Copies of this chain bind each other. A is one copy, B any other.
Amino acid sequence: MQIPIERDKPIPVARQIQAHLERLIREGLLGDGVKLPATRDLAHSLGVNRATVVLAYEELVAAGWARAHVGQGTFAAAPAGVAARAAARVEPAPIDWSALFSRSARTVRADAGRPRHDVVEPSGGISFAGGAPDSGLFPTDAFRRVLNRVVRDEGASLLQYYPVAGYPPLRRYLSTYLLRFGLEARAEDILIVNGSQQGFDLIARTLVDPGDAVAIEQPTYPRALQVFRAFGAELLPVPWDADGPRVDVFERLLERHAPKLFYCQPSAHNPTGLAMSPERRRGLLDAAARRGMPIIEDGFDPSLAYGARRPVPLKAQDRAGIVIYIGTFSKVLFPGLRIGWLVAPPPVLERLREAKQLADIHTSALIQAAVHRFCEGRLLDRHAVRAARAYGRRRGLLLGALGRWMPEGVTWTEPEAGFSLLLTLPSRLSAAALLPRAAARGVTFTPGTAFFVDGSGDRTLRLSFSALPAARIEEGVHRLADTIRASLKEPARVPREEDLAVPLV
């Protein structure tokens, strides 16, 4: 530790050391319980007598800023109220940071002020918010063993810098895996990324300039729309109906605005859980191919489908080579590993690789190798079947409960895939206004506006069923239905600004 000692000062050296350490503890820089350096070491590194350091520590203990444990050393102690004092610490600020922020940062901030879709649930309540898989289903121990073997067998090379494209055996596995769904991609057509989120980011930075028009399905995944907006895109919504994004609107947009690309989730649409009909897929592909415009397909996970047939990715029908496919293991496996992939035609994949290299050099090869071992040993397949069954059961329970409890005028989508459905309230109600009342009854959800590009969707809300225990679903729907019924009985009113901004506590 560096402590500035001024020997020509009238203040004793022990007092200087004590004051310095006291400030560090007071300001939260030495957190509660952090061990102070051994007196011998600190004396040595400061070039002072050990007794001087001992004295300083004794004074700290006497003043309540540290605790001494015989034989173990001295530990920082934060007296009550220290957190407040740390927060109140005034920093000199010759920089007006807010004047320096880029257009991108300002856009991101503006979007961050929108209703959140991923806020953590209240304790004790029943949450249909969030959109994560159930960590109770994670095959954690199997993964631990696989990870251990991978480090033992290939540790040194996996812990070194690694080529950007990704771990070749994982890309070869994905090539064969995607064939199951009819998606033909060679290993060299695949780029490993940090989850689908980094996929959006790399695609946006490679294809979008500020001011470019970007067509996007509506509703859609909020973090995708935020990324395109952060890179300066003007978003043009293409509304979904029961069969997918409307091709007539899509064609009109292409005609009038010549957008740079179109983003959609054809097979497991978040928030509705719907899949596009074969006709819609053909219509979108044909229109985009005619205009020479790429389609960005967010693939979610094709193994999490609840119908009789597996959904076919749009990319599998892409004879023209215009679709960039984004895949992820965050839905069926572990979101925390941050492993996803892009499939793209060679000229654009090369640029995406270059963008990835500048973004963070490469994705952890160790994690890629562990995921590969896990998949190769058919552990993924076994787990996917188990997970799809569990989520399918919850979906069924949710649909059943909605049918039993919801008042007339409430409608909802029937998810064919994914983790959620979209519910629409009777015309008088607003989901944002409903949320605090629902939370008061112990149930939460995600207001729909977050999924709408143009700020509409106030009557909609998303119910996620993936992470909620099956036993809580009925009760959650019951409470939500009660809240809606109570709200319907009140006199109509226009939602106020505060209601729209209410956090998902």
A interface residue numbers (CB < 8 A to B): 1-2, 24, 27-31, 34, 86, 91-98, 100-105, 108-109, 112, 118, 132-133, 135-136, 138, 140-141, 143-144, 147-148, 151-152, 155-162, 172, 175-176, 179-182, 184-188, 193-195, 197-198, 201, 205-210, 223, 226-227, 230-231, 260-261, 289-290, 292-294, 312, 316, 319-322, 330, 334-338, 345-348, 351, 354-355, 358-367
Q: Which chain B residue has the least Cβ–Cβ distance from A231?
A: B102
Contact residue among B161, B172, B289 (Cβ-Cβ distance under 8 Å from A335)? B161
A448 to B50, CA, bound (A): 49
Q: Which 9 A-B pairs have the closest CB atoms?
A: A2-B182, A140-B155, A159-B334, A144-B151, A194-B360, A159-B336, A198-B360, A97-B347, A135-B160
Supply 16 A–B pairs (Cβ within 8 Å), ascending by A: A2-B182, A29-B175, A31-B172, A93-B320, A94-B292, A95-B321, A100-B207, A100-B260, A104-B205, A105-B207, A140-B156, A140-B159, A141-B155, A147-B151, A161-B330, A227-B358
B97 to A2, Cβ gap below 8 A? no
Chain B CB within 10 Å, residue with most, of A97, A184, A351: A97
Once the chains are docked, how many angstroms separate the CA of A471 from the CA of B363? 33
Of all chain B residues, the one with the shortest Cβ separation from A108 is B354
Give the shortest distance, in Å, between A326 (CB) and chain B (any CB): 13
Q: Find out whether the CB atom of A322 lies under 8 angstroms from the CB atom of B95.
A: yes
Q: A180-B1, A322-B94 are in contact. Are A354 and B109 (CB under 8 A)?
A: yes
Question: Does B140 contact A144, Cβ atoms closer than 8 Å?
Answer: no
For the complex formed, measure the closest distance between the CB of A444 and the CB atoms of chain B, giving whole angstroms. 17
| Minimum CB–CB distance for A116 against chain B, Å | 11
Which residue of the partner chain, among B135, B185, B320, B347, contacts A159 with CB atoms under 8 Å? B135
Please determine whether B112 and A138 come into contact, CB atoms closer than 8 angstroms.
Answer: no
B156 near A135 with CB under 8 A, answer: yes
Task: Give bound CA distance, A184 to B156, whole Å.
Answer: 33
Contacts of A138 in B (CB 8 A): 155-156, 159-160
Q: How often does this chain occur in the complex, in copies?
A: 2
* Complex: A141 Cα to B159 Cα, angstroms: 11
Of B102, B143, B160, B362, which one neighbours A155 at CB under 8 angstroms? B143
Query: What's the minimum C-beta distance from A163 to chain B, rounded to whole angstroms?
Result: 9
Closest B residue, CB atoms, query A23 = B184
- A361–B195 touching, CB < 8 Å: yes
- List chain B residues, Cβ under 8 A from A181: 2
Q: Which residues of B contact A316 (CB under 8 A)?
A: 2
A101 to B135, CA, bound (A): 39
A121–chain B nearest beta-carbon distance, Å: 13
Complex partner residue of A354 from B105, B194, B292, B360, CB under 8 angstroms: B105
Check if B337 sits within 8 Å of A363, measured CB to CB. Answer: no
Task: Tell which of B186, B359, B363 touches A27, judged by Cβ atoms closer than 8 Å.
Answer: B186
* CA A27 to CA B141, docked complex, whole Å: 38
Question: In the assembly, what is the distance between CA of A476 and CA of B166, in Å?
Answer: 32
Residue contact A102 to B206, C-beta cutoff 8 Å = yes
Is A364 in contact with B338, judged by CB distance below 8 angstroms? Answer: yes
CA distance A335 to B338 in the complex (A): 17
With A100-B260, A148-B144 as known contacts, state yes or no: A201 contacts B337, CB within 8 Å.
no
CB distance from A65 to the nearest CB of B (A): 15
Whether the pair A151, B140 counts as a contact (CB closer than 8 A) is yes
Asked if residues A351 and B109 are in contact (CB atoms below 8 Å), the reply is yes
Our pick among B93, B207, B320, B364 for the contact of A337 (Cβ within 8 Å) is B364
Contact A337 B366 (CB under 8 A): yes
Residue in A31, A334, A360 whose Cβ sees the most chain B Cβ within 10 Å = A360
Alpha-carbon separation in the docked complex, A141 to B153 (Å): 10
Q: Which residues of B contact A155 (CB under 8 A)?
A: 138, 140-141, 143-144
Chain B residues with CB under 8 Å of A208's CB are 102
Residues of B within 8 A of A101 (CB): 206-207, 351
Q: What's the Cα separation between A427 and B418 when bound, in Å?
A: 65
A226 to B95, CA, bound (A): 26
CA separation between A92 and B285, bound complex, in Å? 14
CB contacts (< 8 Å) of A157 on chain B: these are 135
Q: How far is the CA of A194 from the CA of B360 in the complex (A)?
A: 6
CB proximity of A113 to chain B, nearest CB, Å:
11
Give the docked Cα–Cα distance between A140 and B336 (Å).
22
Task: Find the residue from A91, A209, A346 having the highest chain B CB count within 10 A.
Answer: A209
Distance, CA A92 to CA B208, complexed state (A): 23
- Whether the pair A198, B336 counts as a contact (CB closer than 8 A) is no
Q: A100-B260, A148-B148 are in contact. Are A337 and B140 (CB under 8 A)?
A: no
In angstroms, Cα B27 to Cα A160, docked, is: 32
**Extra contacts besides A28-B188, A102-B208 (16): CB < 8 Å:** A30-B176, A34-B176, A86-B186, A102-B206, A104-B205, A105-B206, A105-B351, A108-B355, A118-B161, A141-B155, A147-B147, A147-B148, A161-B335, A201-B358, A335-B361, A336-B365
